[in-house]
Amino acid sequence: MNAKDNSLRVKHLYNRAGFGISYADLHKLSRKNTEKIVAGLLKETKDDPITLVSDTESRRQMLVQAGLYTKKNLSDEEKKIRQEIIRMQNEVSKDLNIAWIDKMINTTSPLREKMTLFWHGHFACRSNEPLYAQQLNNIQRTYGLGNFKTLLMEVSKSPAMLQYLNNQQNRKGKPNENFARELMELFTLGRGKYTENDIKESARSFTGWMYDKDGTFIFRQNLHDDGTKTFFGKTGNFDGENIIDLILAKPETAEFIARKVYKFFVNDQPDEAHVKELGDHFYAANYDISALIKKMFTSEWFYSAENVGTKIKSPIEFLVGLSREFYVTYNKPQILIQLQSSLGQYLFNPPNVAGWPGGQNWIDSSSLMLRMRIPSLVLNDGEIDFSGKADPEDEAVIALNKNATANANNAKPKSYVNANADWSKFLSTFPKGTSPLELTAFLLQPKLNDKIIKMVSDNKGLRSTAVEITSMPEYQLV
């Protein structure tokens, strides 16, 4: 294979496994074969957790909150303290969001962050407590390329998930089935692979899985139902870990995860033969996620025409990809939250436990119009008058804010995106004499058609070409 054909493959791999690649890096890698590059992607990922949310400060706040919660009548001073904690949690949650998107933009381990993003949507969860949200995100990052069993176990024991799916209320004699149901329906097997009775019995097995008031997992023996349960036709004195083992013993679990991975990395419309191939491999590899990923990225079908330049970028892939590509600095990073929310993928705030539906669901007239405007706003520091809707979970904070009433629905003043693209750095990655058409071919993943070729052929400058091309519908595909 010649270097030019190989560079198309490498670009595709980096677009899907990460958030794109610079022209210079692409040029370097194009001489290597796929196996080596995939091995490199898997190897260069070191664990690098987010440490923004302070453990000690969060735990201090949690203890204060827990104390106030049990009190019947709060003094004005105590009410103020409680409001202040809510306000700080909200602010830190936004900082956490920005810390992660900033990490995706600047990471040297793109596959690990992409995998974290995948698990973020798979184990979809919301938590008002930023420490819990950070913990869960770090679990998904640390174990995201390791063994699925470890990942699943850690997620199931995280305060964020125990809280979100009400396992904190799951007690002997008073079972709460929420976690048990979603564990099978959304996290492992998929609908129709278990009975209602399996849900009831496994819910009993997870009784006593809780976290204590400073946010540490604890197994409360006295709240655990240690009676006999019948699950998947087997009878025993099962606890939560036994249930997870029994779920993983089913090959359907491996196939379910493989299908979801395929839809995220390869194509919205799964090819069932390829999914089966991946599922079998994943199961045989004893749920080693890296083995699954390696199999997928080294399969010839991953590079076939129907899988290249045909997937609609998620809002995060779009924003991170654009920002990485042009070395963008956001002087007012809050704009990234506004954009995530307006484009329909607000990190740490999935629509429900099923995660973002993805694919064509990302696109409606307003989100597409906004996507097509963002490159000129970000790259040319444009003005934005887009306000969007508040996230429903922010309502409490809106209501707390005294001025909210006056401002909530009035048009906000225009604001500038206030971002800088490093154009000289961007342009320096290209060889001298690169033409607008060559730049276009590099920036777009779908094949160029006559219309695009004609549009850019009148263009003299690389900079204006770049802004124009990234504003095209074709740039929405990867």
Partner 1 sequence: MNRRNFLRNTGFVAAGSLFVPAFMKPFEALALDELSLYKNLVVVQLSGGNDGLNTVVPFGNDLYYQKRKSIAIKPEDVIKLNDMQGLNPNMAALQEIYDQGWMTIINDVGYPNPDRSHFRSMDIWQTGSDSNQFLSTGWIGRYLDSNCQTCKFPYTAIEVDDSLSLAMKGQTKKGIALKDPAALFRNTNNPFFKAVLQNDQEHLDEDNLGYLYKTMIETQSSASYIQNTSKIYQSKFTYPSSGFANQLKTVSKFISSGLKTRVYYVSLSGFDTHVNQIGQQGNLLKQYSEGMAAFIKDLKSNNKLDDTLVVTFSEFGRRVEQNASSGTDHGTANNMFVFGGRLKKQGIFNAAPNLSDLDNGDLKYQLDFRQVYGTILDKWLDVNNGDILNKKFNTLDFI
Per CB under 8 A, which region of 71-79, 100-108, 222-230, 323-331 contacts partner 1? 71-79
Instruction: For 60-105, give the DSSP string.
Output: HHHHHHHHHHH-SS--HHHHHHHHHHHHHHHHHHHHHHHHHHHHHH
In angstroms, give the least distance from the CB of 358 to partner 1.
9
Which residues are registered as beta bridge partners of 384?
Answer: 415
Instruction: Find the binder of partner 1 among 359, 381, 448, 463 (CB under 8 A).
Output: 359
Per CB under 8 A, which region of 145-153, 211-219, 324-332, 347-355 contacts partner 1? 347-355
Instruction: Find the binder of partner 1 among 46, 70, 196, 411 (CB under 8 A).
Output: 411
Instruction: Find the binder of partner 1 among 74, 249, 284, 453 (CB under 8 A).
Output: 74
Residue 103 vs 126, nearer CB to partner 1: 126
Burial class (CB in 10 A: 0-12, 13-18, 19+), 38: buried
Per CB under 8 A, which region of 52-60, 247-255, 278-286, 395-403 contacts partner 1? 395-403
Closest CA to 302 of 324, 280, 275: 275
Does position 40 interact with partner 1 (CB under 8 A)? The reply is: no
Instruction: For 208-234, give the DSSP string.
Output: TEEE-TTS-EEE-GGGS--S-EEETTE
Q: How far from 44 is each of 39, 40, 109, 295, 471, CA to CA, in Å?
A: 9, 6, 6, 18, 32
Contact between residue 43 and residue 19 where contact means Cβ atoms under 8 Å apart: no
Residue 145 vs 199, nearer CB to partner 1: 199
Does position 408 interact with partner 1 (CB under 8 A)? The reply is: yes
Does position 64 interact with partner 1 (CB under 8 A)? The reply is: no
Instruction: Find the binder of partner 1 among 52, 85, 218, 398 (CB under 8 A).
Output: 398
The rounded radius of gyration (Å) of the Cα atoms in the chain is 24
Helix, strand, coil tally for the chain in percent (to 5): 60, 5, 35
Does position 249 interact with partner 1 (CB under 8 A)? The reply is: no
Does position 285 interact with partner 1 (CB under 8 A)? The reply is: no
Does position 476 interact with partner 1 (CB under 8 A)? The reply is: yes
Does position 122 interact with partner 1 (CB under 8 A)? The reply is: no
Evaluate the CA torsion angle 270, 276, 282, 283 in order and state its sign: positive
Angle subtended at Cα 319 by Cα 307 and Cα 375, rounded to the nearest 5 degrees: 100
Angle subtended at Cα 138 by Cα 55 and Cα 153, rounded to the nearest 5 degrees: 105
Does position 67 interact with partner 1 (CB under 8 A)? The reply is: no
- Applying CB under 8 A, the site for partner 1 has a residue count of 64
Residues near partner 1 (CB under 8 A) are 71-74, 79, 82-83, 126, 181, 268, 310-312, 341-342, 344, 349, 351-354, 357, 359-361, 363-369, 372-373, 386-393, 395-396, 398-400, 404-405, 408-411, 446, 449, 451, 455, 468, 471-474, 476-477
